[in-house]
Chain A
């Protein structure tokens, strides 16, 4: 049986990833990957933030809710943060948020933290490639779709409510 989250039956499935990249290291690593003509799958859409510490958990949740199949947060290596130590705060938040997402039924591979310095275009490209493949294996997330009740389930729910009300009625 396929995972409840994913529909692995579609052979043309292209995962959609959102990448939050910090302005100083990982965004420049992505620039370097481009300048070096390193190839990686075009599945990640990059959003620039000044520091990975800016990544509000809401952003990650919103990305999943809007249909992202995976989210990457990338920053400078620990100890090399442009803002001295803010990536440590990113790290704390990341593990807490991932724990929560896992508890909600999300596969941990869909949410990833990457350290890439401005010199590590290859490493960033490798991380994207690896994550795209992992998410492709997991299948689409379709979080927003799972949130909406389908017609049948709604009818069944309404029937239960009706039965319940009838059972509670006191005959006159």
Chain B
């Protein structure tokens, strides 16, 4: 049956009409393209009058297909689809062709641009004739949410959801929730104690009846899709029975093995082989580190087991794999610290009194390894001068090009703490001071008044090789002071490197499990950098906190809450729409070769061994069409981008290039289309 196609060519004021002869395009389409019954041009197709014109034509002429030649489908596809829907035409029977961005705006020759616009309209007409009605599907949303990462962003998201009355599973890789914020001493710019504001949130989460916490656990597997994800959690054995342990700490006290704590204490302090990372840890249940435990090393000791008053030590505990169903997933896996050894010119690891920012945080912390005293590596000498070097591993083409966002403010905080706790002079070596949040600039001004020295320039090296007698025994910071235009050698006792925030090393791996991608730098990619910063390209998966990019605490909290709000929106609505632009496999044509199975990045194609065919899980398919192009049997159809549709579009686009194919003789002479100029 012949289709009845309506063609609508937009002037867009003079945006299109200024370079393309739109009247000619409409006239030509009406007279030359088969099955076109109406062809009009109009000043602004997207205006309510333009849309009404289309709706009216659909009703009056019984149009079965609509082509709008206007701007980018990313701008107005929805507008015209809605217009069609209003006139009871399936929205997927409307095709937009972009003669503004892709034609009039980029061309300089009116005749050639008009020819191109004709080809684009012809392509759209040929395509639209092959288009099919599609109906979106709806799935129910499971009310539970999985939050991955128990840092401040994850905690905030968990609390928001739990307080709203929805169940939350919180997964944390380390033995305790709290994240990096638990390691800090003070928070900028208010200088309130980090633990004082964090630990109440931690215990609130722990005691919340809607929250189930899995610490020392990792997300192992994700399947399913928005509304009903099936997730598998790998709960590592902590060798302590959580039901019996009271957190008294006798086992930790009596454990004879002491090792350097590279994780929580950043290598500055020690912990036992059985340990809780810090006193306020949640849960307060210790773990046994099998790499350092004497029992696991040589089969002796078991002191903890003998002394535990409740018999909670369980050396035979096994890893668990827990399966859960959740409707949405919030990824809040945070960041890790740049390894300063990658920049040998700053001497970290070689020069004893060069510290990282995280070591310095622990040093300032009253419950840290030095009890809050700022001292050199020998553990007792107070420094007389301290250098703070900014942008170590940030804003550097050799390491990371991005700005780590938090280091300027952290450096100011360190400067304040040094001056508060010691009599030392503090030098800050910066490229640009970035203090662009509420109260930050004021804090910078405060530090200027407190007498912190600021030297603008990237430090060339930190060395202990003295050139003059007074340099003996000091660390020398070699820097070009770019405000003075001079090379300077500044003598200090201690250097603090403001190491960059980097993505978690396994961020990509986790991203692959969840079907979300990372930027070149390794941060998770949000759906839109400005307008959709917490959603990802995979429906039902959200990101929060520094895993999406370097962020300070307020921004992480805001994003955690935002992600929770988005999840709540889905849960409250109850169902989600699934785009019908997906692939389907025709079982009669499928040979079961399974080539498509491994091509799908979302694992949306499953193999039915019994029938010997592959099948697409509709809710998981994102409609990229790679499997469609790869199927050797042509058994896969990509809805709305079928082979037939695209091949027709190619033929239409090349209407003026090929020798006209012998078309079947029309049974009756087609009536010439009605061509109207609306302007």
Contact = CB atoms under 8 A, between A and B. Distances in A.
A133 interface: no
Contact of B626 (A46, A67, A83): A83
A144 interface: yes
Interface stretch (A58-66, A98-106, A153-161, A164-172): A58-66
Interface of A: 14, 16, 18, 27-28, 30-31, 33-35, 37-40, 42-43, 45-51, 53-59, 62-63, 65-68, 79-86, 89, 93, 125, 144-145
Given A80-B517, A82-B517, A84-B515, A45 B629 contact: no
A143 B422 CA distance: 82
Given A50-B641, A145-B659, A14 B629 contact: no
29 contacts: A30-B102, A31-B72, A31-B102, A33-B101, A33-B106, A34-B100, A34-B102, A34-B106, A35-B105, A42-B109, A46-B102, A47-B123, A48-B73, A49-B646, A50-B623, A50-B624, A51-B626, A56-B628, A56-B646, A57-B629, A59-B646, A67-B658, A80-B517, A80-B519, A80-B520, A83-B601, A84-B517, A125-B106, A144-B658
B511 to A, nearest CB: 8
A56 B106 contact: no
B106 A51 contact: no
B206 interface: no
Interface string B264-287: 000000000000000000000000
Query: Closest 3 A-B residue pairs measured CB to CB?
Result: A34-B101, A67-B657, A54-B625
Interface string B485-518: 0000000000000000000000000011001011
Contact of B638 (A37, A38, A54, A66): A54
**Most chain B beta-carbon neighbours within 10 Å: one of A37, A66, A144:** A66
**Most chain B beta-carbon neighbours within 10 Å: one of A35, A50, A59, A68:** A50
A86 B102 contact: no
Interface string B89-118: 000000000101111011111001101100
Given A82-B517, A83-B624, A56 B643 contact: yes
Interface stretch (B129-137, B216-224, B648-656): B648-656
Contacts of B624: 50-51, 53-54, 82-83, 86
Given A39-B108, A42-B103, A51 B657 contact: no
Interface residues of B, number: 55
A72 to B, nearest CB: 13
Contacts of B125: none
A43 to B, nearest CB: 8
A119 to B, nearest CB: 10
Contact of A63 (B537, B599, B629, B650): B650
Contacts of B517: 80-82, 84
Interface in B516-532: 517-520, 525
Contact of B74 (A28, A45, A54, A58): A28
B647 A144 contact: no
A66 B601 contact: no
B107 A31 contact: no
B649 to A, nearest CB: 5
